[in-house]
Amino acid sequence: MGFEIGDFPTLMALEPHGPDVYVGVGPDYPWGRVYGGQVVAQGLCAASATVESNRPIHSLHAYFIRGGTSDEPIRYEVDRIRTGRSFTTRRVVARQSEGAILNLSCSFQVTEDQADVQESALPNDAGRPDDRPPQNWAPLLERRPRPPEVGRSCGWLRVTGPMDDDPVLQACALAYASDDVPTEAVSSSHPRISDVGDGWSSYQELFIGASLDHSIWFHRPARADDWQFHDFRSHGLNGGRGLSIGEVFALDGTHVATVAQEVLLRERTR
C-alpha cells in the first residue's frame, strides 16, 4: 500500500539521510506503479536542495530504468557534478530495494538579465479550463483534457494546492504534471488505438506501455498550481518506441516549458 499524501508540498517533503541523500514516499496510483512524474519531481527536489537558491532549474533529462513501487520509500542519491560561475550540474539516482528506478541529470543557471523572446503561442483551440469536465486519476493533479485526436493530446492541468510561490516547489510541480499527457499523444498515433475501449484496463489488455526517457526545458517561471495548457504531438512510432514533444503555457499565454518524452508502446502478444 502507498503512503497517505495530503498535498503536493507533503509529497516533496524529502527526508535527509546523510550527505546529499534524501528519501521520499508516494501514494498509490491506478496503474499499480509509481507515477513517473512523481519520481522526476522528487529527484529535482533532491538536486535543488544542493544548489544555491539564486540558480533556478533550466533543464532536466531523465531515464526511467524500471517501474517503482508505492509500497516502499524511494532513496535519492545526489552527485554534485559541477558548480561553475554560471551553471550548476547535478546527477540524481533514485533507488528502491530492487535497484535503480531513475537516472536524472539537471542543470541550474544563475538568473541573467538577457533578451526574452517568445516565439510559441497558446493554441487558438486551447479554450479555457472550465470548458471541459474533469478527468482526474489522482487527488494531486487536476485534469481538463480536450477530446483526443490522432497524433495529438492536450489539456489543462494544475497541481492541487495549497502551495506557496517557492520557485523550486513550483518547478517540481510542473515536472510532476509533465509526465501525464505525452504517452496519450503517442498512443493516439497507433493504428490499433481504435480497438481500445473505455477505461485503463482496456488499454492494458492491448498494450504494454511505459515512459522511457523524459526531458524538460524550463523557459519562464509560472505557478503550476494554477492552470497550465500542455500541448503534445506525436512524432511517430518505430520499434515499439514513440516520441512526443510538447509545450506548456500559462493561462495568460506565457510559454513556460518545452517537454520531450520517448515512450515504450508494445502490442501484447500473449
Q: Does domain 8-110+133-267 have CATH number 3.30.70.120?
A: no
Distance, CA of 186 to CA of 153 (rounded, Å): 8
As given in the structure block, the three cell numbers for residue 231 are 500541448
* pLDDT at position 148: 79
Backbone angle region of 76, left / alpha / beta, with phi > 0 → left and psi within -120 to 50 → alpha: beta
Chain centroid offset of residue 219 CA:
15
As given in the structure block, the three cell numbers for residue 129 are 479550463
Q: Residue 154: beta bridge partners?
A: 231
Query: At residue 142, what are phi and psi to the nearest 5 degrees?
Result: -95, 135
Residues of the chain with pLDDT under 50: none
Structural domain boundaries of the chain?
8-110+133-267
Angle at 80 between CA 75 and CA 84, to 5 degrees: 150
* pLDDT at position 67: 92
176 contacts 186 by C-beta, under 8 angstroms: no
* pLDDT at position 12: 97
58 contacts 217 by C-beta, under 8 angstroms: yes
pTM for this prediction: 0.94
* pLDDT at position 83: 97
pLDDT tens digits, residue range 198-227?
655 566 666 777 889 999 999 999 999 999
pLDDT tens digits, residue range 34-52?
999 999 999 999 999 999 9
Angle at 47 between CA 213 and CA 1, to 5 degrees: 70
* pLDDT at position 195: 61
* pLDDT at position 31: 79
* pLDDT at position 270: 67
